[in-house]
Each structure stands twice: as structure tokens, then as C-alpha cells.
Amino acid sequence: MKLKQRMVVLCAVLLLLGLAKIFLLDGGEGSASSRRDLRAFRKMEAGLSLSRGARLTHTLQSPWEIASQWVGPREVYPEETPELAAVLISLSSARVERADVGYKGTQLKALLVLDGGQKVVFKPKRYNRDYVVEGEPYAGYDRHNAEVAAFHLDRILGFRRAPLVVGRNVNVRTEIKPVATDQLLGTFLMQGNNTCFYGKCYYCRESEPACAEGEMMEGSVTLWLPDVWPLQKHRHPWGRTYREGKLARWEYDESYCEAVKKMPPYDAGPRLLDVIDTAIFDYLIGNADRHHYESFQDDGGASMLILLDNAKSFGNAALDERSILAPLYQCCMVRVSTWNRLNLLRSGALSSAMRQALAFDPIQPVLAEPHLAALDRRLSGVVATVKQCMEAQGPDNTLIEDRMNLPHP
């Protein structure tokens, strides 16, 4: 065979191999990784619906002890959690032992201690479900329902990196004020017949309180991570400047990812792929406010990027802020497992799974329908972005096999 003919045959073989990989990782079931990811997806589907009547009847452990034992270097909760519904129900109903102002931050919250000494973060309702937050993609108050929805999206995507969150209705007069610290009590006021509070935070103002409907206040409750897993805060490499007229480097330098790859902890280990997973997660929920992130301390870059503080999400269903995806389209790489999961959630499967998961929550409906439709639309945008990368540099350079699982201590 002549050299020219051999080269043509070789190119054809390489093309077929590339197309085969794209097929197997684009909804096909032929590869070992695809089959493994499909089994994980089916497990997620089977456990998605949670029972409102769930109780812990087979153990002497408290729900807080069970949830604490779930936490590991690469997950907040494991793939199979038959006790999840019971733990969430406890979060939504356990007696409040103490109430205080929230830990440091820019947004209004309260720190509650539940029966048994479990700390949780309470974020109060500020908007009705159909309210549209206008302006910058990070504008507005925290949305309590966004915390709930983001947790269940974390379950559906198979990341398992978000702390447990559930909606809760509290009676401010009987549940909160009798156990509140003087510091928190000093921020309560009345607006008509409604009890309100404004707390202590950077943007907290007496003129902008969160108000109950009468005495009943809706909010979200986030389970505090165990103290044996102290957190370390990091500046997000794709963070915004939040200063008008001043761009961050990633906003004008399309080669920025190459510089990030040379900086620890992004030069080795799973952290950069975690950042890209998080960009996909944030794009789906419309969160353009992840200026910092947390991991576990002294992890050497091996810990997961923990999906904390997701409340600046689901503000405007009509806005698809593409800049949130910058880590994905600038680095042009994504985990094989993430890519497989995204493909399994196409054609309306994502919004359907969210409806199923959110039906359990005490404050359902958690999301207005336009936000559910936006999830499917944005997912299509993520898939299209990955396909553009594969077309530009090939699937082998785009789809990264990374299944780091560190044992629990």
C-alpha cells in the first residue's frame, strides 16, 4: 500500500475512534465508565423521592451523628443514604435550643442550635417565588429557596458536595424569641402585625428586615458541617472584582486557564476539575457570586470544593449568565463522570428530577416553573460548550477520567 493510502486509512481509523468515544460518552452505554455512571444514575433516580413520614427507627444514633459520619474528604453524604429523609425531617422540625445572630458574612442569617446541640444556619424568606431579581447576576438578597433547590441539584448531579438543606417554617414568637440571645433580640421589630428581624451582617440594615407573615417565618435550614472537619477558605480563581469598570484577568485573557494550571492547588490533584464542576453547577442555578470557596483544611489539594452558600441563585429565570461557565470554556476540560451525568439529564430529565426531589420539602413548591425550565435550557448550553471543546481539541483532551475516592478516616 502506498504511503498516501496508508495515511488516508490511518486518518479514517483515528476519526472513527474519536467518534466512537464521543458516542460512548454522549448517552451511549458501551464503555466501562458509561456503564458505571449509568448504574450510579439509576441509584440516584431510585433514591430521589423522599418520604415525609421517614423516621430513624433502626438505630440509637441521633440524626446529627448519622449525618456527621457521612462526611468524607470527597463527599458530604454518600451515594446511598436511606436515612436522608429522616435527617432532613429532623432538621425541619427539631426543637430550637438557642438562636443567635449569624456568623460573619454579607447577608442576613441566624445561627440556631437544635435539640441535641446541632448547629444550623437559618436563612429567612425575602422574596416570593415568582419575584424576578433584576440587575447584575449577583444582585439582590439571599434566596432561601435557592439553598434548598441547590442541595437537591447537587444530589441529582451526583456531586454530593453540598451540605444538607431543608425548608422550615418557624414560629418566631414561640420558637425563636424565647431562646434568642440579647444580640439577636435587639434586632427584632414589628411592621404592622408581622414580626421582623434584621440581624447582624455587613449589609444588614434596620430599614431592610426579613419579616414573618404574622408570627410564622419561612426559611431554609443548612446543617453545619462537623467540627472535626474544619474549613479552609480560598479565593476563587475566576472570581469577579465587583468594581465597576475593572475586569478580572479571566474576563479579558482567554489563555487565563493556562496560568491557573501552574498555581497550586490547581497544578495537581482534583481541584481544577472541581472548579469546573462547580462552574457547571453555578451556571445551572444562575449563581454568579462564588467569589470564594471552602475546602477542608490541610488537604493538600485533595479535598472536594464544598458547595456552600448557594443562595444567590434562581433570581432571574430568563438570564443565562454565560460568564459563569468561564472555567469550562477556557480550560476546555470536564470529568468523564460529569459529562455522562449531564447527558443522562438531557431532554427534560433534569427538571423532571428536580420536581420529584423538591416535592418532599416542607416549603414546596420550592421553585417557580420558569426556573425549572431554565435548568433544562442551561443544561443544553453546557452540553453545547463541551461539544465545542471536543470539536476544537478532540475528546481525549476534553474528557478527563478522574474518579478520586479517598477513604473516610
289 is catalytic: yes
Is 84 within 8 Å of 50 (Cβ atoms)?
A: yes
Residue 19 identity (one-letter amino acid): L
Q: What is the DSSP string of 56-119?
A: --S-SS-HHHHHHHH-BTTBSS-S--TTHHHHHHHHHHSPEEEEEEPPSSSS--EEEEETTTEE
Q: What is the pTM of this model?
A: 0.91
In angstroms, rounded to a whole number, what is the distance separating the alpha carbons of residues 32 and 29? 8
Identified catalytic residue from 289, 298, 376, 396: 289
DSSP symbol at 239:
-
Looking at the DSSP bridge assignments, the partners of residue 409 are none
For residue 395, is the peptide bond before it cis, meaning its omega torsion is within 30 degrees of 0? no
- What 3 state SS string does 205-234 have? CCCCCEECECCEEEEEEEECCCCCCCEEEE
Q: Which three cell numbers stand for residue 155?
A: 444530589
Q: What angle do CA 311, 367, 377 make, to 5 degrees?
A: 90
Could you list the residues known to form a binding site, using ranges.
107, 123, 142, 222-225, 294, 309
Sign of CA dihedral 126, 128, 129, 131: negative
β 110-114/118-124 pair status:
antiparallel
Q: What pLDDT shows up at residue 277?
A: 98
Q: What is the pLDDT along the chain (409 residues), one digit of tens a residue?
A: 555 555 544 444 444 444 444 444 454 445 777 889 999 999 999 999 999 999 988 788 999 999 999 999 999 999 999 999 999 999 999 999 999 999 778 899 999 999 999 999 999 999 999 999 999 888 999 999 999 999 999 999 999 999 999 999 999 999 999 999 999 999 999 999 999 999 999 999 999 999 999 999 999 999 999 999 999 999 999 999 999 889 999 999 999 999 999 999 999 899 999 999 999 999 999 999 999 999 999 777 789 999 999 999 999 999 999 999 999 999 999 999 999 999 999 999 999 999 999 999 999 999 999 999 999 999 999 999 999 999 999 999 999 987 655 444 4
Q: What is the DSSP string of 311-344?
A: -S-SS-TT---GGGGHHHHHH--EEHHHHHHHHH
Is 269 within 8 Å of 236 (Cβ atoms)?
A: no
Could you list the residues known to form a binding site for ATP, using ranges.
107, 123, 222-225, 294, 309
In angstroms, rounded to a whole number, what is the distance separating the alpha carbons of residues 248 and 258? 15
Could you list the residues known to form a binding site for Mn(2+), using ranges.
142, 309
Q: What pLDDT shows up at residue 137?
A: 86
